[in-house]
Amino acid sequence: MSRSLPPVVLVLAGHDPSGGAGIVADSEAINASGGWALTVPTALTVQDCDNVQQVMSVSAHSVLEMVMALNTLPIAAIKLGLIADIQVLEAVEQVLRRFPGLPVVADPVLKAGGGTELSTAGLSQAYVDKLMPLVDVLTPNREELTRLTSGLPPFANDTERVVSLMEQGCGAVLVTATDDPLPGCDRHKVVHTLHTPDTTRQWQWPRLPGQFHGSGCTLASSLAARLAVGERLLTACEQAQHFTWQSLSHGYHPDLGQALPDRFFNPLFFDTTLLN
């Protein structure tokens, strides 16, 4: 019996050979969240479960050619990950302009979990100038939020930084505090804050011990899939966070390096009754 294709998410992101992050993680999270991933690599990396040793950008022309070859498939959402040079960033901008009206979720991968820098000040500014007007949901951690708003005073708070990005055209910002707990918050909890032009919503999750590889990719990709399925933003954010926390809590712990999420911990995880 033939089966219909699930809602399709176009992913433009880097490739992580470990499978913990990058387009492999994106594909797993999207599939487990009810979608189908089209994966276009923007960069190849040399890395393990601990850190990135080298980044090699795919040519901007190749990125555009790969996207064009997929034009017969009905794309319902777009997810952005690592963008390692200005030429590829401009190619990604062209891709987003080809698909107006689709939800775009962007995970601004500026630094590896192990500490390697993956962007520059100039590239981060170009990210804000060229992509923010085209992004519906940005999913930075607190350090990434600060770096993307480096023109603000150092003492600016998260809300002021989010407002500056929304003034650039970004539709909403889901700030994750896994890297740096919010001031005054219980350090045994992780607080994620969704900012939209109309409201602010926070969620608290128990902080898991250890360090995890690919948590940001998992969250952003699951969110993109839930938006592609048709959920509203608030519900999609909540479902994606729950899925990510469960993936991490069921994760694998290799002898060396960060833990790896198990994104297929439960194939019947999502509650379709939340669709609205």
Write out the chain's pLDDT in tens, 276 residues. Answer: 788 999 999 999 999 999 999 999 999 999 999 999 999 999 999 988 778 889 999 999 999 999 999 989 999 999 999 999 999 999 999 999 999 999 999 999 887 776 777 788 899 999 999 999 999 999 999 999 999 999 999 889 999 999 999 999 999 999 998 777 777 777 788 999 999 999 999 999 999 988 898 999 999 999 999 999 999 999 999 999 999 999 999 999 998 889 999 999 875 566 544 444
Instruction: Specify the CATH number for 8-265; select among 3.30.70.920, 3.30.565.10, 3.40.1190.20, 3.40.50.300.
Output: 3.40.1190.20
Q: What is the pLDDT of residue 276?
A: 44
Predicted pLDDT of residue 118: 75
pTM for the whole thing? 0.93
31-61 in b/e form (b: 16+ CB < 10 A) is bbbbbbbbbbbbbbbebbbbebeebebbebe
* Per-residue confidence (pLDDT) for residue 153, from 0 to 100: 92
Quote the pLDDT of residue 176.
Answer: 93
pLDDT at 273: 47
Residue 39's contacts (CB-CB under 8 Å, 6 or more residues apart) are 11, 13, 23, 26, 27
Residues near 155 by beta carbon (within 8 Å), at least 6 away in sequence: none
Look at residue 137 in the predicted model and tell me its pLDDT: 98
The pLDDT assigned to 269 comes to 62
- The label of the residue with tokens 């993936």 reads 247
